[in-house]
Amino acid sequence: MGYWTLDEIPWDRFDRSKLDLEIVRLVKAASLVEYNGAAYAHHLCRIFHDDPNFQRAARRWGEEEIQHGRALARWATLADPSYEFVAAFDRFQAGYQIDFDCDVSRRGSRSGEMIARCIVEVGTSSYYSALRDGVQEPVLKEICRNIAADEIRHYKLFYKNLTRCLERERVGFWQRLRVAFGRIAEAEDDELAYAYYAANEIGGPYDRRRHSRAYARRALALYQEHHVRHMITMVFKAVGLAPRSRLARAASRLAWRALCYRMTRLARVAA
């Protein structure tokens, strides 16, 4: 498992007076996505079928993702005793399905798969850092601190394997950039929206647009400019650009303005 365990979380410090019900809804959704990590680990082992060392690392990564899901689910149950994690996860798996048995990356190469995984870890490390900084409840703060640290380690794992893959594959800068932007765009796909739906709504149909907006409106509000700056730095490194260059600083400012604009639009729609 990771460098921490569920027994090390100070559950007795849980403070109901500092709950934010909107945050509870986000944590429920996150518990489902994180707990699904074993499926992605299986997919990576299929892609790297001839690399036992990376397979071991991928399985360990999957176990740590499952631990994230368990920690978040336990906290969510403290916050909302009516939350039935197992039933919610069953709904999530039934409604959001990907072919995890495929042994070829849909990114076009092993290098592309590692770039995509780096981008995912960029997003999750930034998100849990933003969640940690944005909540008052002390137990959730500690869980998010641990998860954010894990996600940075996971980024390093995939980046290290990316450098190994690039020694054997001819993947140019523009192709790396295309994979990265493609994976960033997939943040708008069904996974997060359906997890939000499966975790928070027992009855009623799934509406991708409505649930995606509901999730994004609550999640994006957590971000501060330094979280976005950290995210851009890691993205630049994954695609082969200087992470602390003038271009990176300009991209960070542009990304922050785009996020603020998106939050404004979501707030108007909600109103």
pLDDT in tens, 9-51: 999 999 999 999 999 999 999 999 999 998 999 999 999 999 9
What pLDDT is attached to residue 50?
94
Confidence of residue 232 (pLDDT cuts 50, 70, 90): very high
pLDDT bracket for residue 106 (50, 70, 90)? confident
The per-residue pLDDT for 188 is: 64
- What mean pLDDT do residues 203-232 have? 93
- % of the chain exceeding 90 in pLDDT: 83
> Who contacts 59 (Cβ-Cβ below 8 Å, separation ≥6)?
41, 45
What pLDDT digit, counting tens, does each position of 125-183 carry? 999 999 999 999 999 999 999 999 999 999 999 999 999 999 999 888 899 999 998 88
Flag whether pLDDT at 107 surpasses 90. Answer: no
User: What mean pLDDT is predicted for residues 59-71?
Assistant: 96
Confidence of residue 190 (pLDDT cuts 50, 70, 90): confident
* pLDDT at position 123 over 70: yes
| pLDDT mean across residues, the chain | 93
Q: To the nearest whole percent, how much of the chain has pLDDT over 70?
A: 99
The whole-number pLDDT of residue 2 equals: 56
Q: Please check the confidence at residue 53 and state whether its pLDDT lies above 70.
A: yes
- 19-23, 177-181, 189-193, 209-213 — most confident range: 19-23
